[in-house]
Structure 1
Amino acid sequence: MLPLPAPEIGLAPNPPSTALVGSPVWLWVDNQTWTAASRTATAGSISVTATATPDRVEWSMGDGSSVTCYNAGRPYTRGTSSSCTHTYVSSSRSGPYTITATVYWDISWSGGGASGGQTLSQSSTASLGVREAQAIVQ
């Protein structure tokens, strides 16, 4: 069996903190989620090797929008940037948004004179409240 880990979601701001409308939310999955895995099974004289390689993370942001990242993203560090973010345009008035991260894995196998492949996925969810902040400019 080739176990595929469910993604461990990272967000900044980190729940239970809330995000602000108009400010980017950083998205990432744990680096252990973003590591290729390989296993070999042997029966008699035949061995088959399967390899799973993470391809992308699709983020469903709970507000009807989605973000696709072709890497694990990166944890928030002051003064840096990330290509895996989402900016909410409205608050989560009726409760926090449910965010779903789905990691898609490319699976390839070979052995015994045959080979093949397919795509599998694993998902996890998190909740994040989003509010608006008002400012007076003079």
Structure 2
Amino acid sequence: MRRLSRQGAVLGAGVVLLFAASTPAVADREESLVPSGGQENGNLNAQVEVIKYDTSKNGNGPSAGPVAAVQADWSPPPCWYAPKWTPDELRDYYQRGHEAIHHDPGMPPEAINEWSEERRNYIDGDYEDFNQEKEGEGMWWGAVQNPNAPFEDQFACDRVPFWADNGETPDVENIITPEILAGLAYEQIKVPGTEVTLAPGGKSKVNLPTWAWLDGGEFKPVAVTASLAVGGLDMSATTTATPKSLRIEPGTKDARLHPASGECTINGDGSIGEPYVKGKADQEPPCGVTYLRSSGDGSYAMEATVTWEISWTGTGVAAPQALPDGTFGNEQAVEVEEIQSINR
């Protein structure tokens, strides 16, 4: 299966940014290179929209936000191959591209020649008339870029459009799979904000434990399902995030954590830590912090971060498969004062 040069690969992928360095005007003509079918409003990457997301079980609210993967070498897929064009749509795509580049005086000759050669391949080369005789029996597959990925990584999928009959899964690296859908669903996960309850109320006291906890009703599993049904494909994946632990960073070195690791595990009911009750002010909490020095006229920026265990299931995959844990947290101001004593 053919690959293209850097310039041709980007054209073959359907993203008209390849000549931005030599001819900035190309970016303004994106819509002119868009196939007529299934690519509305000039969206060059409309396959992203073909993937449907069910976020009805996702986290919500003004404080909700996306998780960050704790595994530094993992990220959602930057690109993949999926069904994109019918024969008519691919013909229209190449015709629009042909007209656009031939009317651009700044287009490099080698780029024009490469595009023309690629187009001829679908007219009277490896294929004939864009496989018109197989209309309805399959689709042209092409590269799809993840707009959330680093720009250069998006073009790792550099094959020119290729044909696959309905129901056929091409033997090509980075072909769309339930696992790829799971990674894309990971990007859509949102979890609740992590402002913990602190007690005793008011200002914390030097050398007295501050109890910290999160209610189980607020911290429960969330999930997003990504699905794709096109070109004979029908697959989906559901990515689920389950609260795992709470980590506290006190905002100063003059503090002692409870437990010492700073990691508060989740309870059986989904809560984290234990609510403070009157009479326990001098007891060590299962989750909290003891400040050893006053914050003076200011406050400490305590950071509370929840770690979420993330897994997925999907088409042909019934048992949960692990994805990297994700984290989400925020800072909250904590004022700490000295305990005043009276000498008589």
Query: What is the CA-CA distance between 1:79 and the residue it aligns to?
Result: 4.4
Equivalent runs, 1:1-138 vs 2, <5 Å: 1-14=188-201, 17-44=202-229, 45-64=234-253, 65=255, 66=257, 67-71=262-266, 72-79=272-279, 82-93=285-296, 95-113=298-316, 115-135=321-341
Amino acid at match of 2:193: A
CA shift digits 1:1-52 (9 cap, x unpaired) = 33211213211133xx211111110111243442122333332221211111
Q: Choose 73-82 or 18-27, whichever is displaced more.
A: 73-82
Q: Following superposition, which runs of at least 4 residues in structure 1 exceed 3 angstroms of deviation?
A: 79-82, 112-116
Task: Flag the structure with higher strand content.
Answer: 1
Q: Choose 85-94 or 29-38, whichever is displaced more.
A: 29-38
Aligned residues: 136
Instruction: State the Cα RMSD in Å.
Output: 2.3
CA distance in 2, matches of 1:137, 1:89: 22
Query: What is the CA-CA distance between 1:104 and the residue it aligns to?
Result: 0.7
- SS at the partner of 1:34? coil
Relative to 1, partners in 2 of residues 1:100 and 1:11: Cα closer, same or farther, differing over 3 Å?
Answer: same
Q: Is the 8 A contact 2:298 2:335 kept in 1?
A: yes
Q: Is the 8 A contact 1:8 1:30 kept in 2?
A: no
Q: Is the 8 A contact 1:105 1:119 kept in 2?
A: yes
TM-score w.r.t. the length of structure 1 is 0.82
Higher relative contact order (CA 8 A, sep 6+): 1
Task: Flag the structure with higher helix content.
Answer: 2
CA distance in 2, matches of 1:41, 1:20: 48
Relative to 1, partners in 2 of residues 1:50 and 1:77: Cα closer, same or farther, differing over 3 Å?
Answer: same
- Unaligned stretches of 5+ residues in structure 1: none
- Unaligned stretches of 5+ residues in structure 2: 1-187, 267-271
CA distance in 1, matches of 2:302, 2:194: 12
Q: Is the 8 A contact 1:21 1:88 kept in 2?
A: yes
Query: What is the CA-CA distance between 1:94 and the residue it aligns to?
Result: 5.1
CA distance in 1, matches of 2:335, 2:286: 22
Amino acid at match of 2:228: A
Q: Is the 8 A contact 2:212 2:288 kept in 1?
A: yes
Query: What is the CA-CA distance between 1:63 and the residue it aligns to?
Result: 1.7
The equivalent residue for 2:152 is: none
TM-score w.r.t. the length of structure 2 is 0.36
Q: Choose 107-116 or 88-97, whichever is displaced more.
A: 107-116
Amino acid at match of 1:35: K
CA distance in 2, matches of 1:41, 1:56: 26
CA distance in 2, matches of 1:23, 1:116: 40
CA distance in 1, matches of 2:342, 2:249: 33
Q: Is the 8 A contact 2:192 2:219 kept in 1?
A: no
